[in-house]
A and B are shown apart, each in its own frame.
Chain A
Amino acid sequence: MSRQIKVTLIGNPNTGKTSIFNSLTGLNQKIANYPGVTVEKKEGICKLDRGIKAHIYDLPGTYSLNASSIDENIVVELLLNRNHKDYPDLAIIVSDVENLKRNLVLFTQVKDLRIPTILAINMSDRMKYKGIELDLPYLEKHLDTKIILTSNRTNHWIDKLKNLISNYNKLPSTKFIDPKLIDPEYFKNLQRTFPKQELYKLWVVICQDANFSNVDKNFLANSNFETKSISELKRLQQKETIKRYQLINNILKVGQKVDQSKAIGFGAAIDRVLTHKIFGYVFFFFILLGIFQAIYAWAIIPMDYIDSTFASLTEWVKMNLPSGAMTDLLADGIITGIGGIVIFIPQIAFLFMFISFLEESGYMSRVVFLMDKIMQKFGLSGKSVVPLISGVACAIPAIMATRNIESWKERLITILVTPFMTCSARLPVYLIIVALVIPNETIFGFNYQAIALMSLYILGFLAAITSAYILNMILKMKKRSVLVMEMPNYKIPLIKDVLYTIIEKTKSFIMEAGKIILAISVILWFLATNGVGDKFTNPENHISQNIELLSEEELQTKIAAIKLENSFIGKIGKTIEPVFKPLGYDWKIGIGLITSFAAREVFVGTLAVIYNIENYDDSKGKQRELKNIMLHETDENGNKVFTLASGISLLLFYAFAMQCMSTLAIVKKETNSWKWPAMQFIIMTLIAYIVSLITFQLIS
Chain B
Amino acid sequence: MELNIQNLLVVLSLGVALVYLFNKYNSKNDNKNCSDKDCGCQ
Per-residue B-contact encoding for A318-331, CB less than 8 Å = 1, 0 else: 00001011110100
**A side interface size, CB within 8 A:** 44
Per-residue B-contact encoding for A464-486, CB less than 8 Å = 1, 0 else: 00000000000111100000000
Contact of A672 with B40 in the complex, beta carbons under 8 Å = yes
Contact of B38 with A409 in the complex, beta carbons under 8 Å = yes
Contact of A523 with B17 in the complex, beta carbons under 8 Å = yes
A327 CA to B30 CA in the complex, in Å?
Answer: 40
CB within 8 Å of B: which A375-429 residues: 408-409, 412
Contact of B17 with A36 in the complex, beta carbons under 8 Å = no
Contact of B21 with A516 in the complex, beta carbons under 8 Å = yes
Q: Taking each of A38, A475, A522, which has the highest tally of chain B beta carbons within 10 Å of its own beta carbon?
A: A522
CB within 8 Å of A: which B17-32 residues: 17-18, 20-21, 24-25, 29-32
Q: Interface stretch among A51-59, A70-78, A114-122, A296-304?
A: A70-78
CB distance from B40 to the nearest CB of A (A): 4
Across the interface, A327 reaches (CB within 8 A) one of B6, B16, B21, B41, namely B6
Chain A residues closer than 8 Å to B17, beta-carbon distance = 518-520, 522-523
A675 CA to B28 CA in the complex, in Å?
Answer: 12
Across the interface, B13 reaches (CB within 8 A) one of A214, A329, A476, A520, namely A329
CB distance from B6 to the nearest CB of A (A): 3
Per-residue A-contact encoding for B6-18, CB less than 8 Å = 1, 0 else: 1101100110111
Contact of B40 with A325 in the complex, beta carbons under 8 Å = no
Tell whether A37 pairs with B38 under 8 Å between CB atoms, given A329-B13, A523-B18: no
A279 proximal to B (CB < 8 A): no
Contact of A676 with B33 in the complex, beta carbons under 8 Å = no
Contact of A408 with B36 in the complex, beta carbons under 8 Å = yes
Contact of A325 with B1 in the complex, beta carbons under 8 Å = yes
**Closest residue to A676 on the B side, CB-wise?**
B40
Contact of B25 with A674 in the complex, beta carbons under 8 Å = yes
A508 CA to B36 CA in the complex, in Å?
Answer: 24
Chain A residues closer than 8 Å to B30, beta-carbon distance = 35-36
The size class of the interface chain B forms with chain A is 20 to 34
Contact of A408 with B13 in the complex, beta carbons under 8 Å = no
Contact of A519 with B6 in the complex, beta carbons under 8 Å = no
Across the interface, B39 reaches (CB within 8 A) one of A70, A77, A522, namely A70
Contact of A36 with B18 in the complex, beta carbons under 8 Å = no
CB within 8 Å of B: which A59-77 residues: 67, 70, 73-74, 77
Chain B residues closer than 8 Å to A14, beta-carbon distance = none
Contact of A324 with B4 in the complex, beta carbons under 8 Å = yes
Tell whether A38 pairs with B7 under 8 Å between CB atoms, given A212-B35, A526-B14: no
Contact of A37 with B14 in the complex, beta carbons under 8 Å = no
Contact of A38 with B6 in the complex, beta carbons under 8 Å = no
**Closest residue to B29 on the A side, CB-wise?**
A36
Contact of B39 with A37 in the complex, beta carbons under 8 Å = yes
Contact of A326 with B24 in the complex, beta carbons under 8 Å = no
Q: Taking each of A324, A412, A668, which has the highest tally of chain B beta carbons within 10 Å of its own beta carbon?
A: A324
Chain A residues closer than 8 Å to B24, beta-carbon distance = 515-516, 668, 674
A668 CA to B23 CA in the complex, in Å?
Answer: 13
Across the interface, B6 reaches (CB within 8 A) one of A324, A478, A676, namely A324
A73 CA to B20 CA in the complex, in Å?
Answer: 32
A671 proximal to B (CB < 8 A): yes
Chain A residues closer than 8 Å to B18, beta-carbon distance = 519, 523
Contact of B29 with A35 in the complex, beta carbons under 8 Å = yes
Across the interface, A73 reaches (CB within 8 A) one of B1, B9, B29, B35, namely B35
Tell whether A673 pairs with B20 under 8 Å between CB atoms, given A36-B34, A37-B33: no
CB within 8 Å of B: which A652-695 residues: 668, 671-676
Contact of A324 with B33 in the complex, beta carbons under 8 Å = no
Contact of A519 with B31 in the complex, beta carbons under 8 Å = no
Contact of A476 with B38 in the complex, beta carbons under 8 Å = yes
Across the interface, B9 reaches (CB within 8 A) one of A35, A326, A477, A519, namely A326
Chain B residues closer than 8 Å to A671, beta-carbon distance = 40
CB within 8 Å of B: which A66-109 residues: 67, 70, 73-74, 77
A306 CA to B2 CA in the complex, in Å?
Answer: 35
CB distance from A117 to the nearest CB of B (A): 23
A77 CA to B36 CA in the complex, in Å?
Answer: 13
Known: A35-B30, A520-B21. 8 other contacts (CB 8 A): A35-B31, A36-B29, A324-B7, A329-B10, A329-B13, A408-B38, A478-B36, A523-B14
Question: Please, could you name 14 A-B residue pairs with CB atoms under 8 Å apart, sorted by A?
Answer: A34-B33, A35-B33, A36-B39, A77-B35, A214-B35, A325-B9, A325-B10, A326-B5, A408-B36, A408-B38, A409-B38, A477-B38, A515-B20, A674-B25
Spell out B's residues near A (CB within 8 Å): 1, 4-7, 9-10, 13-14, 16-18, 20-21, 24-25, 29-36, 38-41
Sorted from nearest, which 8 A-B pairs have the closest CB atoms? A324-B6, A36-B41, A326-B6, A477-B38, A35-B30, A519-B17, A522-B17, A73-B35
